Structure 1
């Protein structure tokens, strides 16, 4: 059956997307349409902060994009050597928190040791941080996107854990989203299942999906990568058929395969 994935492609363009691969192993034909585009901002400020680990109690990464911004800072200033020689070790003497395996893998590629890759959501990660950190540490540093949710900052603030945030990328709708969706529905018809990967994806795609699927909307099995996305879908009145137990390709593919049986 046809499954439409409304998500970002793999960062390594050459490798097949793990979600597509997993769904194909269950016998389904998956198509990926990118939903978001990203513009990096404040990289000079970010770079300065990255090279002053002594001013912070640790790092928090909740998206692959924030880690990409680190790589850009290192390449932009030609500072990778300095990073590898001393700075990464100074950060590794503190806590480096992450949400999800994809972000954890990118953090490891910077030579950093991530904590919390199994947390899956910012809500669960914030509980881990509150358990581990004292309130008298220097602020944890959280590079984030322009439309981050306030779950993590609010939880830390309410529990007295100091936090400093910096917006390092802005999120917008992918310029070809409407056109790509239209082409997909024209060529493939209405898919058996559509998977959403973020509340922003729901916001940017849902109107077009409703319009293009018309009378067949209720026949689509809608899938969510996690509880935050599921709640955003439900708030828009969508009937969510399944939610991945963890935000991984294996868990999502298994959930969709079960829903489509």
Structure 2
């Protein structure tokens, strides 16, 4: 059956997207349509912060995009050398927290040692940080996107863990989103399942999907990558058929395959 994945392709990943591969192993043909486009901002400020580890209690990354912004700050030869020779080791004496395996892998590629990759959500990660960390430390540094949810900052502040945030990328609707969706529905017809990967994906795509599906909307099995996305779908009055137990390709593919049986 046809499954529509409303998500970005994995960055710099050669070979097929893991979600497409996992769904194929269940006998389903998945297509990926990118929903978001990203613009990096405040990179000079970010560079300054990265090279002053002594002013922070540690680092927090909740998205691969935030780590990409860091990589951009290290592109200059002399910056990279300074980072590799001393700066990254200073950060590694502190806690570096991440959500999810993709973010953790990118953090490792910077020479840093991530904690919390199995947490899966910002809620769970914030609990881990609160349990582990002291309140009388310099603030954690949290580079993030323009539409981050306030769950983690609020939880840390409520528990006295100091935090400093910096917006390093802005999220907008992908310029070709509507055109790509129309082409998909014209060529492939109504998909058996549609998977959402973020609340912003729901915000940008749902109206178009509703319009293109018409009366057949109720036949589609809608899937969510996790609880936050599921909440956003439910808030829009969508019937969610399944959600991944963990935000991985394996778990989502298994959930969709079961829903389509």
User: Does TM, scored on the shorter chain, surpass 0.5?
Assistant: yes
RMSD across aligned positions (CA): 0.8
State the 1:194 CA deviation: 0.4
Secondary structure in structure 1 of the residue aligned to 2:74: helix
Secondary structure in structure 1 of the residue aligned to 2:32: strand
Task: Give the number of aligned pairs.
Answer: 261
Question: Which residue pairs with 1:248 in the alignment?
Answer: 248
Q: Deviations along 1:102-121, whole A, 9 cap, x unmatched?
A: 10111111111110001100
Listed as ranges, the matches of 1:148-227 within 5 Å are 148-227=148-227
State the 1:81 CA deviation: 1.1
Q: Is this contact kept in 2: 1:10–1:16, CA < 8 A?
A: no
Q: Determine whether 1:93 maps to 2:89.
A: no
Q: Distance in 2 between matches of 1:212 and 1:141?
A: 43
Listed as ranges, the matches of 1:135-154 within 5 Å are 135-154=135-154
Listed as ranges, the matches of 1:13-24 within 5 Å are 13-24=13-24
Question: Which residue pairs with 2:115 in the alignment?
Answer: 115
Q: Distance in 1 between matches of 2:18 and 2:12?
A: 11
Secondary structure in structure 2 of the residue aligned to 1:238: coil
Q: Distance in 2 between matches of 1:211 and 1:122?
A: 33
TM-score by length of 1: 0.99
Q: Determine whether 1:65 maps to 2:65.
A: yes
Q: Distance in 2 between matches of 1:185 and 1:89?
A: 51
Secondary structure in structure 2 of the residue aligned to 1:59: strand
Question: Which residue pairs with 1:52 in the alignment?
Answer: 52
Q: 1:168 to 1:175 in 2, by over 3 A?
A: same
State the 1:76 CA deviation: 4.3
Secondary structure in structure 1 of the residue aligned to 2:257: helix
5+ residue gaps in structure 2?
Answer: none
TM-score by length of 2: 0.99
Hey, which bits of structure 1, 4+ residues long, moved more than 6 A? none
State the 1:16 CA deviation: 1.4
Question: Which residue pairs with 1:229 in the alignment?
Answer: 229
State the 1:10 CA deviation: 1.0
Q: Distance in 1 between matches of 2:15 and 2:96?
A: 27
Q: Distance in 1 between matches of 2:49 and 2:247?
A: 30
State the 1:86 CA deviation: 0.8
Q: Is this contact kept in 2: 1:6–1:197, CA < 8 A?
A: yes
Comparing 11-20 with 167-176, which one deviates more in the overlay? 11-20
Secondary structure in structure 2 of the residue aligned to 1:183: helix
